[in-house]
A and B are shown apart, each in its own frame.
Chain A
Amino acid sequence: MIIKKELIKREIAGDTILVPVGKTVLDSNGLFVLNELGAFIWERLPGAETEAEICDAILAEYEVSPEEAAADVADFLEKLRQLNII
């Protein structure tokens, strides 16, 4: 999946923060914070072709059902699409 915005990921005291850079500053209104699962998905976005690949990675790491993983991934990606990030 292609990340369309310039964002720098930072770890600050246990939180994962995305800092906008370049023209992304104009439409971001500040920082984005990711929860643990969001950070996990974010790391895998550039190498993933499909949502299913990301779900498989979650199932390999976390003890959740395939349905829960799929719902979490869909929810997170939808938020990124709304923000025009992917």
Chain B
Amino acid sequence: MRKSEEPYLSTYLHGKGRMLGMPIAGTFELTARCNFNCPMCYVHLTPEQLKASGKQELTAQQWLSIAQEARDMGMVFVLLTGGEPLVRKDFFEIYDGMRKMGLLISINTNGSMLQGEILERFLESPPFRFNISLYGGNNETYNRMCGTPAYDRVKENIRRLRQAGVEVSLNLSITPYNKDDLEQIYRDAVELDVNVKASSYMYPSVRVNGEQYGCGNRLSPEESAACSVEWDLLRFSPEEFAARATNMVQKVSVEKEGCPVEIGEGISCRAGSTAFWMTWDGRILPCGMMMEPEVYPLKNGFADAWKELREMTARIRLSAECTSCSYKEVCSTCAAVCFTETGSFEGVPEYNCRRTKAIVRITKEKYLERKEK
């Protein structure tokens, strides 16, 4: 299986952007529509839900206009996502327009539509990378999880892209529906020579389901942890896994020095600092998993919206308890997690506390088991 590392230049540009207040990367969520129907999706709306929302997707010209403004302020990297972005009939009007602006484009897709004329067009003008969600290791799992038996088709589409030299990375969401397919998915990734970004943590779908914080069609924290470690055992060599386990245990056992903090830390990722997420209905969020803060570029222009977003994001503080937690160094909790789990950035996400502790415990157990053997 291929391993992926962020290009040095991307890290450099984000670093520079952080100092200068520039938007370096933008995610454009072109639609909430999708030809799949996955239960854990945070954005998918059925045609009925879309109609009931009273909202409309932005036009191609609106997307291009916002992209041009962001580009003029320094944006280099664009991620086109959805829903399923390829269900838009004007997708290539948006894609080609952005390419001509000198933007490096990646596309999130379920991969089911990457054939025929659409595939031909992409082979002529490929994106920097396709991030294809792989939902299972056979047609039955796809049917159960996505409502359509598309495994064979998606795998064949990926194979064609790879044969043409197009860069593909797989996104794997591990859920109750596909947790038994991990070995097969790993074998597929090796066979297709692609990197896999896997996660057994599913955000509560608060953007779709309203204020159902902490709820989701997902594994229990302990099951999620077990799947996470199972994936690590597949993807890492015995030496790499041992190093990971040792490192993890060391990080947790280091006692925090000094007094417990009273105020939690701010956001440390790129969301709202050098990166933004524009929703299908025209709002800009720091990250697509959040519901706030939100700003409105179609009203006052992108530049003002970006400035406002940066200021609002900089004011966010996380829980003081999380900031001084002894598991902090091995916990992947972030602002979006806290908000979607608890309804507040300062809330402590219990699901993630349990999950992180279970990951450390199971990793340690597996490491010791292997060592004894």
Contact = CB atoms under 8 A, between A and B. Distances in A.
Interface of A: 8-10, 12-13, 15, 17, 19-23, 25-27, 29-31, 33
A21 B99 contact: yes
Given A12-B13, A12-B74, A31-B7, A23 B124 contact: yes
Contacts of B126: 23, 25-26
Given A26-B166, A27-B165, 14 more contacts: A13-B20, A15-B16, A17-B9, A19-B76, A19-B102, A20-B104, A21-B99, A23-B126, A25-B128, A26-B165, A30-B9, A31-B7, A31-B9, A33-B12
A29 B7 contact: yes
B245 to A, nearest CB: 32
**Majority DSSP secondary structure for residues of B touching A:** loop
A27 B167 CA distance: 10
Contacts of A33: 9, 12
Nearest to B9: A31
Interface in B37-75: 74
Contact of B128 (A9, A13, A30): A30
Interface of B: 7, 9-10, 12-13, 16-17, 20, 22, 74, 76, 99-104, 124-128, 164-166
Contacts of A25: 125-128
B104 A19 contact: yes
A53 to B, nearest CB: 27
A21 B102 CA distance: 7
A79 B164 CA distance: 26
Contact of B104 (A26, A27, A30): A30
A13 B16 contact: yes
Contacts of A8: 100-102
B167 to A, nearest CB: 8
Contacts of A26: 126, 164-166
A44 to B, nearest CB: 20
6 contacts: A10-B102, A19-B104, A21-B102, A22-B125, A26-B126, A33-B12
Contacts of B102: 8-10, 19, 21
B9 A12 contact: no
A30 B74 contact: no
